[in-house]
Structures are given as structure tokens and as C-alpha cells.
Structure 1
């Protein structure tokens, strides 16, 4: 089993983003039921954020309510929280003052119901040296407020610079059949070299493989995908070509395309010298959670076929647009 902070975690984790970061978030009661089932199924690497929702109602509020209700689950879950943005904004601020504000706010919102196992800056602040930011978080690790430090959307060079200041417990980055970038840009290699596991977010290609979106109009109003180039206009339909190939393999295997996508990400863990890779799909409902946790194994031929799709079919459009694009691979 993979380990994070010395604790065993499931080969598939659990993302909280969709539960509180939507135009119309679902009721906490439904989310809590799904979270409870996640623990039962062994999805105990949980990923949330101070930025997932509003300052008045975000994933920290949901987590506090969950662990207050189920205190016996607190030690079972490895909790990673993103923060260090300017309050109420998506702009990164990795200054020592804002790092302290963010960590203290996260700890306050958890209310003692759960320890803040991992803290990571949602993005690298281009105005603050990463060494300064990591040193600031490390002070809170030594004070016992935080269990360890993780990084989000960083380059291989930044990982090495950060690790030179303090051990890095995990790196979170988008990884999927649509986004295999880390295997080409040195991020996976740097993590393998330093023994750092990767949390792979959006492993199911941001809904392309769940069957929920077959045209741009299917994306809900207020959804962040409206600002992502690969979900816009002609790019969307070009990208369905990759979806069709994955659906073909899933049909032959008798499973869901999303399960094939998750299996492919899991299969990269330890393969070709890769580090441990733990997918953290965002999940809203118990049926979808159970679908994600149904373990599907790929044959070497199926992995090779999927690798060939990735190699031959170009994904059209970037992962992020606008200001977000400038903060990738910080």
C-alpha cells in the first residue's frame, strides 16, 4: 500500500473540490454520507482546500462537521489542504504573513476535530521565492500545527528547491490520459528521485470520461470548465476522439471509461521508474464513489494501447486559460 507521512493510504484517494466548489453545492448531509462511505472503502487520502468554496462555507467547514460526527475516522484519514491565496481570491500569496494567516484559519475551521496533516500552497507565488514560502510552512510543522508540506502544480526545479529547505511529503498535480505532462516535463522523475508520492487530481479528464458531458452545453453554469480552453468550441469535439478510443477499450473490458482512466493512472505508479501515484477523483455521490473504487486492472496490452492513444491523439487546448495558465508548473 502507498504511504504518506508514514501512514498507509488507499491506491485511490478522494477529492472534496466538487462538494463545496460549485455554483450550487450539494447539502452537507449528502456529502458527509459519501465521505463516510469513502472511509469504509479505503479512500483515506483526502484533498480539500480553503479555496474550495467561500470564506463562509468551504471544504474546511464540511470537514469539521464530518469529523465532529465521526471522530473515530480522524486518525484513518490523511488530510491535505490547499491554501495560501489572498483571502477571497484565487491569487497566490506565499508570503510568511499570508502562510501564517491561511494555516491558522484552516486549523481554526477544523476546530480540533482533525489535524491538518498536509498543507500546500494552491499555486506558487511568483512574487515570493519558494524557499521563503517553504521555510514559513516549516515553522508551523515544527510548532505542531501541520503534519507536513505538500506542493501543488510545480515544476521539477521548484520541487528540488523546496525539498532542499524541508522534506516534501507529496506533490499534487493534474494527471490523466488527457494530461500526462508530468511524465514528460521532469516532475515525475524529480518526485521519484526524492521519494515523493504524487496526488493525481482530475484523473478522469475533468468529466470527459464520466459520460456527463458530450457537448460544451452540458457543462453546468458557473463551472470552472467554462474557462478551460480544451472544453471550448471546436477543441471540445476534437478531444472527443480520445474519449472514443478509451470508450472502445472500456466496452471490450466490460467496465466504465472512467474506470479505465483511473486504472491507467494507478498503473503508472512505479512504472518506468515513476514515483507512487495516487489518483484523487472528485466524487459527489456514493454510487459514483463505489464505481471509482471498484478495482479494475489493465493488461499490459491495454496499457500499451492507451499509451498509444496518448501519444498519437493530440489534446487540443490548454489545461487552464487566462491567469491560471500563467501559474502552472510554478
Structure 2
């Protein structure tokens, strides 16, 4: 050892002791039970080493540059003490030589439903620790990064931004930034993959006689045809009105759940008309047809108002057949 370098000598002594303890099951047991005293030959536990000097064959030592190195006459050349201690205390791991790559960073970003559907640009503040490769000093760094959210991203997905993590040693690459996406629920739209589900209320008159209903879509409001004889929980499909496929050209559909609203209060005249309609239906035995349809239309028109229009019985709506009232996101 260099003269007066007591710290280096002590470090080497500890390394020797550690090697002996780890390579001898008996000593390791004593060390686990009694600590350093269990392997100290002067402590009374009788734990002296029996395996000889594990560093036999090393010829010289160099501490002049502030690092800890061994020189050996055998194969392998110079050995870094940090690697040696990693082998003893770190389960055999060896740190690769050369500059270390920067650490990966993780964070999450909250998006509204509309931001997830149409994409957005979000500025995120990063705060992380970095270590000076020369001094070993750890400091906290803050910086801002802009994340481009692609249209169609879904809740729980992760974005990987290459090279946006922590800085590495000089000459080494930065780490990566992983952004976990959390999408807020929407009160109107409910997502299922690329499809969106919505509920649209219609009157009893619309359900029986058909008509149209205004439906809000991701691209604006449209008029949707309601077929005659619509039943409870009928679902209509607006094709191509769903969410754009992530990194693709396809789109999902919008599934419209029709909810028939039943009035809770009626006037005496409305009740009379409803009873007339009920009697007429019983007499026909086949539902609404011919003059009965006209009578039903008159009765329901007085009770709930006239239906908007008669629009057929199609269960699916094609995008081209739907007049757009508004074309805005």
C-alpha cells in the first residue's frame, strides 16, 4: 500500500474478510448470527479464516488517482475494486465498463375523453435525480418535455419516448421516458375498443310510429331514423362514427341505445285516448295496421305530439345517408 493510505488498507482488509466469510458456510452462519464479532478470531467465537489468502498472486496496488485498483501477475490484468466489491456484496453482479446509460423515467398523464379520441399535445414537468460521473454527487434536475398524444389512444396504454429519460455519463445515451395514460370517463360517450356507446331518449309515439331523433356523435350532431315499432333497448348502429384506429385508417362505430320515455302524468283526455288505443289494439289482435294505424296516430299525436317523420325500419344507418347538422369535433 502507499505509505499513509490507511483508508485503502482498511478497505482491502474488509474485502479480504468479506471474501472469507462468503466462501465459508460456517463463518457465514456466525456472521449472520453475531455480526463482525462472529468472524473475529479475537472475539472468542473461533471464526478465523481457513481458506488462505484469496488475493494471493496480486503484485501491486495503485491508489494515486483516487480509485482503487489491483495489479495481478496472473491472467486478467487490472481489477477494479468497485467490481470486486460488487461481486462480494451484490450477488455476483459486475457493472459493465464504460459510461453508464441514463436511467429510464416513468410518469402518468391524465387526458379527457376528447383528448384521447382526437389527440393532444401535453407539456409534462419532469423531476429526477442524476449522479455526477466524476464526483458521485447526486443532484435533482427539473425539465419540461412535450408529449404528442396520438388520436385513438386508450386508457391504460403506455407511450415510450426514446431518449427523453435521465442523462447518462458523458458519451452515454439518455434513458427513455415511459408515459402511462389515464383517460377520464365521459358523461355521454362510453368507449368499447374502437366503438362508442350512447343513449338517446325517444317518446312512446316515436317508438310506435317511427320518426327521427337527434344524436350527438364525435363529429357533430346528426338526425337518425327511428324505425316503426321500436322496442325497449333497441340498438341502432351509426357506421364509421366511432374512434379512429391508433396508427391506422379504420374507425369504429357508434352504437345508439334507444330509451323509450314513458310519461308519468297524463290528462283526462290523454288517458281517454290511451284507453281507446288499447281497445283498438285488442280488437285487431295483430297490432297496428290499416285504419287502426290512423287511429293510433291520432291518439298518440294528441297524447305526445306528432312524430317528426316516417323513416322506415332499418336497424343500421350508413354514414352517407345521415344528414349532418354540425361538423365539429
Q: Aligning the two structures, in what range does the TM-score lie when normalised by the shorter sequence?
A: under 0.3
- Larger relative contact order (C-alpha < 8 A, sep ≥ 6)? 1
Q: TM-score, normalised by structure 2?
A: 0.20
Structure (1 or 2) with the larger CA radius of gyration: 2
Q: TM-score, normalised by structure 1?
A: 0.20
